[in-house]
Amino acid sequence: MSIKQNAYSDGLPDFRNLGVIARILVAVNLAAIGAACYAEPGWARGMARFADDAAFIEPALLASIVALYLISPALVSMRYLLANVVVVAVVLCIVAGMSYLPQSLSAPDERQLARRLVFSAAISLALLGYLRLRAKAFSPALTEARLQALQARIRPHFLFNSLNAVLSLIRRDPKRAELALEDLADLFRVLMDLADLFRVLMSDGRKFVRLADEIALLERYASIEQLRLGERLRVVWEIDNAPLDALLPPLVLQPLLENAVYHGVEPGTEAGEVLVRIEGRAERVFVRMVNPIHPGSTHRPGNHMALDNLRERLMLFFDAEAKVSTREADGRYQVDIEFPQITAKPAGQVETR
């Protein structure tokens, strides 16, 4: 089966994201240091020149960031090229306006003003280009192989064993068998519908779903695995404090639960407990999954593909505001995810469900 890739959809960075703001601050200051050292011979004189220039650069830079922060929602409705023009125009207007402030009513030096405008335009365009390439590098259109492999992790034996478990229930518990088939159909509708999945993940690469939908998918998957593994699987749900309206990338949690079951429960001969904890605190969402470890297991060892894919997608969505960490202790493997609690679609993002 061939999959048609959609072109990456250009979009401005979210100027309200702390990671984007930090990159702008660092890049502008590094560029200013480089320009000062190029203009003056010697490192000491170059840094002295930068110290003088910083008296103008830093206020103008902060004013530009505040302005872009405020107009970021309006930029979403514009075409990409027009939005870039608006960004550069806003920066140039701020630079030109602030150039008059130290001189009060007298006109600024024309050559100095021209240098400032040229530098501001150049660094603005360079940053917009860099942030676009960075977003494109993290877009799922360039990681299609990983997404295909991630989806293929729904192993054939899981399907066959689930169907056999349902068959065994048809006569003695038809109602439960019917519910299990509905769960199985819902799960595979989401995870095996290639056309819909790649349309969602590749047409723009930055689509959101509600945390409530991801939790519902988790519960369906756990229900099917419970039917298949019986008393060997025990899932502890700590989701009462989960912010159900929070937005996150699609298919983030289910692969983690599948990993926990496959590597933490299936290899064991006794009952295995998987902890799923989701809560919101201080405008952030915290997810923790914990499963047993079986060092002598004959299962194929994990290749961390799900975690690597998760890190890349969270980086695309939330930049430096998201964190993924793992640890092993006391015979348990723990995955922790942390990301901002966003309930309204931020700049450049579209909800899919």
Confidence (pLDDT) at 304: 58
141-351 has which fold? Answer: Heat Shock Protein 90 (3.30.565)
Arithmetic mean of pLDDT, 321-345: 88
More confident residue, 176 or 248: 248
Share of the chain above pLDDT 90, in %: 30
Confidence (pLDDT) at 167: 75
- Domain range list for the chain: 18-138, 141-351
Q: Say which range, 67-76, 133-142, 149-158, has the weakest mean pLDDT.
A: 149-158
pLDDT of 215 > 80? The answer is yes
Residue 149: pLDDT band with limits 50, 70, 90: very low
Arithmetic mean of pLDDT, 251-261: 85
Residue 224: pLDDT band with limits 50, 70, 90: confident
Arithmetic mean of pLDDT, 22-51: 89
Locate 12 and state its tokens: 């401005």
Say whether pTM exceeds 0.85. no
